[in-house]
Amino acid sequence: EDKVVQSPLSLVVHEGDTVTLNCSYEVTNFRSLLWYKQEKKAPTFLFMLTSSGIEKKSGRLSSILDKKELFSILNITATQTGDSAVYLCAVENAGNNRKLIWGLGTSLAVNP
Amino acid sequence: NAGVTQTPKFQVLKTGQSMTLQCAQDMNHEYMSWYRQDPGMGLRLIHYSVGAGITDQGEVPNGYNVSRSTTEDFPLRLLSAAPSQTSVYFCASSYSSGGTISYNSPLHFGNGTRLTVT
């Protein structure tokens, strides 16, 4: 059965800390891995990863994919209180629809 | 710059009532979908559409109907609400063309509808 497992489930850090969020997956036919940030409302898109070893970066956030070991990490450096959110990982199957398998998310709280 | 718009934001129904959750997007996205999000379950796909006139089932379609008469709108209907349908519902869209999904285009989500069925 296809699955996506995120760890840790929750995390509390202080402003300025660096955090690493993990996403491991088992899917029958991998197409891509996506990271989303969910605050109170809609998940907002962060990264889409399709190739191993190529880091994607946006400001203080970066992510990388390892297709051999079947995982991805999301790094956030110099965390701010505005980074507090649930971070969702999803893997898309290479089928003929947009079937995404979602993890349960990592709840990050950044304290001042 | 509206993106994906969902209405209503909140709704309380009694068991057996029917209602329609509305979803509209102004990005000319042909792919649209409905998810429900429940604690401990993650996001689960209910129904999706790759273009006007085309719909298909996701992993949890029972109790829900959809139709797609225009590119912009993708309503989700609950014909006879049950307490198990208490959830947060998200509509999401992405670019596709001519019925072919563009897999390099990420999903864009609406702000959700929180539904409670008593």
Beta strand pairing call for B10-13 and B113-117: parallel
Please enumerate in sequence order all residues whose Cβ is within 8 A of that of A60, keeping only pairs 6 or more positions apart, or say none. Answer: A76, A77, A78, A79, A80, A83
Chain B residues near residue A88 by CB distance under 8 angstroms: 42-43
Give me the residues of chain B with pLDDT under 70, please. Answer: 1, 98-101
pLDDT in tens, B88-117: 999 999 987 766 667 778 899 999 999 999
Q: Is A58 on the interface with B (CB under 8 A)?
A: no
Give residue B95's pLDDT: 86
Residue of B nearest to A88 (CA): B42
10-residue mean pLDDT profile of chain A (112 residues): values are 94 98 94 94 93 92 95 98 97 80 96 95
Give residue A98's pLDDT: 76
Please judge whether A42 and B111 are an interchain contact, meaning their C-beta atoms are less than 8 angstroms apart: yes
Average pLDDT, chain A: 94
Give residue B98's pLDDT: 66
The minimum CA-CA distance between B23 and chain A, rounded to whole Å, is: 13
pLDDT in tens, A32-61: 999 999 998 899 999 999 988 889 999 999
Chain B residues near residue A41 by CB distance under 8 angstroms: 111-112
CA distance A35 to A105: 10
Q: Is B23 on the interface with A (CB under 8 A)?
A: no
Please enumerate in sequence order all residues whose Cβ is within 8 A of that of B34, keeping only pairs 6 or more positions apart, or say none. Answer: B21, B23, B45, B46, B47, B48, B58, B64, B66, B74, B76, B89, B90, B91, B92
Top residue of A27, A98, A99, A107 to mutate, by most chain B CBs within 10 Å, is: A98
Q: Is B51 on the interface with A (CB under 8 A)?
A: no
Give residue B99's pLDDT: 64
Q: Is B55 on the interface with A (CB under 8 A)?
A: no
A61 burial type by CB count under 10 A (0-12 exposed, 13-18 middle, 19+ buried): middle
Question: The tokens of A38 are what?
Answer: 């969910």
User: What is the 8-class DSSP label of residue B85?
Assistant: G
Give residue A14's pLDDT: 97
Residue of B nearest to A43 (CA): B109
Q: Which amino acid is at A31?
A: R
